[in-house]
Amino acid sequence: MKDQIQNLSDKGIPALGIYSGMSRRLMVQTLKNAGNDHYKLLYVSPERIETSLFLEYLPALNINLIAVDEAHCISQWGYDFRPSYLRIADLRAELPGVPVLALTASATEVVQKDICEKLAFANPQIFRQSYTRANLSYSVFKADSKLSKLIDVVKKVPGSGIVYCKSRKRTSEVASLLQMHGLSASFYHAGLTQEERSKRQQDWVD
């Protein structure tokens, strides 16, 4: 969310966000600011939508559209099911007449149908594009040593990148290994403090 808000701000589109690690005071100020028509977008995680604080300020927000990003998370057939997503549909009762848009890049037809049901779409309009993305390429390697292959790839491919790991501990281990080979690397996971996450995220963006 922070990346998207920053990218929008850089384009002159004023946006706000409520995310983990924010103090109650900052959240209140953000919600008050969101009531100002100057702001075009408010990013809120599904978990935050359920809070009494958000619901308290909801009537003061001039909402024209509810956009559900990563909508596959709403489906029990999706790969990243999160129960809080199910309760996004409750906003429809609070905001009758406000259109709802669900977005995902990875929903099968079964997941699409489930999303429509969970969000209580009466007459859904579905727009699909191919999974093929002209700006993406995929390479699959069968390597004797994943870490050796990783180092080889990182040294040859220009720019910055992300290495996904199965555990928090592994992110630290892999970052240390890359550093040992003279590569600029750090690790990022939900166990870090908000300050550490913000710093590392900004370092990566830079």
pLDDT of 47 over the 90 cut: no
Distance CA 164, CA 79 (A): 16
Structure tokens at 121: 């779409």
What average pLDDT does this structure show over 106-125?
91
pLDDT of 20 over the 80 cut: no
Least confident of 59-68, 78-87, 139-148, 154-163: 78-87
Whole-model pTM: value is: 0.73
Cα–Cα distances in Å, from 105 out to 30, 129, 192?
29, 9, 28
Segment 137-196, tens digit of pLDDT? 889 999 999 999 999 999 999 988 999 999 999 999 999 999 999 999 999 998 998 889
Cα–Cα distances in Å, from 38 out to 12, 33, 56, 94?
11, 9, 21, 23
pLDDT of 48 over the 80 cut: yes
Percentage above 90 pLDDT, the chain: 60
Residue 68, C-beta contacts closer than 8 angstroms, at least 6 positions apart: 74, 85, 88, 100, 101, 102, 103, 119
Residue 139 carries which DSSP code? -
Structure tokens at 76: 């029990």
What average pLDDT does this structure show over 83-105?
89
Cα–Cα distances in Å, from 10 out to 6, 20, 204?
6, 23, 17
Confidence (pLDDT) at 206: 86
